[in-house]
């Protein structure tokens, strides 16, 4: 099983996991502390090697030495293990074409003579991923999220595509707008800091502006229409069913952006919001069986606690009773999500 986990983790970092393999890895990491340690070691070495952006040369030996120094490894056996990790990452680099793909840009004004090379970065459930784009923009991806972007921005705009949630610190460039595409809404900026949440299973797309200015647009039949302009501390919620947008000013943005620092924040939240956040953060399915719970509001902050501890603390500070059901093996040998039931 250990060899399989090494293989799955290395495939995760090059973006080559199937859906069933991703679920297997998530469940094993959540339920096995030793697997979590292995994943964290891989993640650290991946950070050190500079492979957040492909096609960049790395010094594996130097990265390995820094990693060993930071982790204070003294046992030869562990050092040999890290060398194995480095070897796997080198192989991953050689086969990195498995998560880079090509297409030809054909939109007006952006026609290029050569194909655009695209890259995809995702954050496995229960983790966050921080990296920098070629223009200097910094992105932090939340649990279960994915960003698709060009290795190098060409043309008249900087376009990326988001599924899930991300925190953007956009490098200012007045000549080349930065555009984030979601399923039903585009966010256009020149240079600013904002949070965007657009999970595929959610009925809402929310944009929270920290500072700067963003423009929200919809694109229908090739025609782009501006629907809102946000100022700092504004939070816009676009309802996908009614195609309506609501904008309100927030005094404290921490509950919307603290996730990038590993914090799960509830502030006067209804149980439906608690269920959605827990589901996205821990990759669980949450059911609310008791209608009375919808009358209560919840305020709490958790920092990288396991879901068992979060549920226990919620139950002690509120009338919540819960059940946490284990994942079950499906007919295709993959696993279902774990299930949380609020009673």
Closest CA to 197 of 133, 245, 145, 261: 145
Closest CA to 186 of 216, 160, 161, 165: 216
Span 132-148, average pLDDT: 95
| Pairing, β 100-103 against β 223-230 | unpaired
104-249 against 262-342: fold identical: no
CATH entry, 262-342, from 3.20.20.100, 3.40.50.2300, 3.55.50.30, 3.40.190.10: 3.55.50.30
Looking at the predicted structure, is the pLDDT value of residue 235 above 60? yes
What are the tens digits of pLDDT across the range 265-274?
A: 999 999 999 9
Position 275 scores a pLDDT of 93
Looking at the predicted structure, is the pLDDT value of residue 305 above 60? yes
- In this prediction the pTM is 0.69
Contacts within 8 Å (CB) and 24+ apart, 38-45: 38/5, 38/6, 38/9, 39/9, 39/127, 41/67, 41/71, 41/82, 41/85, 42/9, 42/10, 42/13, 42/85, 42/89, 43/13, 43/127, 44/70, 44/71, 45/82, 45/85, 45/86, 45/89
Q: Which fold has domain 104-249?
A: Jelly Rolls (2.60.120)
Please provide the average confidence, as pLDDT, over all residues in the chain: 80
Looking at the predicted structure, is the pLDDT value of residue 149 above 90? yes
DSSP three-state, residue 42: helix
Q: Which two tokens stand for residue 203?
A: 């009925």
Per domain, the residue ranges of the chain are 2-97, 104-249, 262-342
Its sign, for the CA torsion 141, 284, 238, 234, is negative
DSSP three-state, residue 196: strand
**DSSP character string of 201-238:** T-SEEEEEEEES-EEEEEEETTEEEEEEEE-TTEEEEE
Dihedral of CA atoms 213, 178, 155, 218 in degrees, nearest 10, equals -80
Position 66 scores a pLDDT of 53
């Amino acid at each position: 099983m250990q060899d399989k986990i090494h293989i799955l983790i290395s495939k995760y970092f090059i973006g080559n996991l199937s859906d069933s393999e991703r679920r297997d890895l998530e469940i094993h990491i959540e339920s096995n502390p030793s697997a979590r340690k292995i994943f964290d070691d891989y993640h650290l070495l991946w950070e050190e090697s500079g492979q957040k952006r492909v096609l960049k040369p790395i010094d594996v030996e130097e990265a390995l030495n820094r990693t060993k120094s930071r982790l204070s490894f003294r046992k030869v056996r562990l050092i040999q293990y890290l060398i194995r990790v480095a070897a796997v990452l080198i192989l991953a680099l050689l086969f990195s074409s498995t998560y880079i793909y090509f297409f030809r840009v054909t939109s007006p004004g952006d026609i290029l003579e050569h194909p655009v090379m695209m890259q995809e970065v995702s954050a496995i459930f229960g983790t966050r991923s921080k990296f920098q784009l070629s223009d200097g923009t910094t992105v932090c991806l939340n649990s279960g999220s994915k960003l698709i972007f060009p290795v190098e921005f060409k043309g008249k705009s900087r376009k990326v595509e988001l599924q899930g949630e991300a925190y953007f610190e956009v490098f200012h460039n007045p000549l080349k707008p930065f555009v984030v595409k979601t399923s039903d809404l585009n966010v256009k900026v020149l240079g600013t800091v904002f949070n965007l949440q657009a999970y595929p299973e959610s009925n809402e797309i929310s944009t929270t502006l920290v500072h700067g200015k963003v423009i929200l647009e919809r694109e229908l039949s090739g025609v782009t229409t501006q629907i809102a302009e946000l100022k700092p501390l504004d939070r816009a919620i676009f309802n996908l069913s009614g195609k309506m947008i609501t904008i309100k000013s927030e005094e404290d943005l921490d509950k919307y952006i603290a996730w990038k620092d590993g914090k799960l924040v509830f502030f006067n939240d209804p149980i439906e919001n608690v269920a959605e956040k827990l589901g996205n953060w821990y990759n669980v399915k949450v059911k609310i069986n008791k209608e009375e719970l919808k009358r209560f509001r919840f305020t709490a902050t958790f920092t990288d606690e396991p879901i068992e501890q979060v549920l226990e603390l919620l139950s002690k500070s509120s009338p919540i009773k819960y059940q946490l059901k284990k994942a079950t093996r499906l007919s295709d040998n993959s696993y279902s999500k774990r299930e949380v039931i609020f009673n």
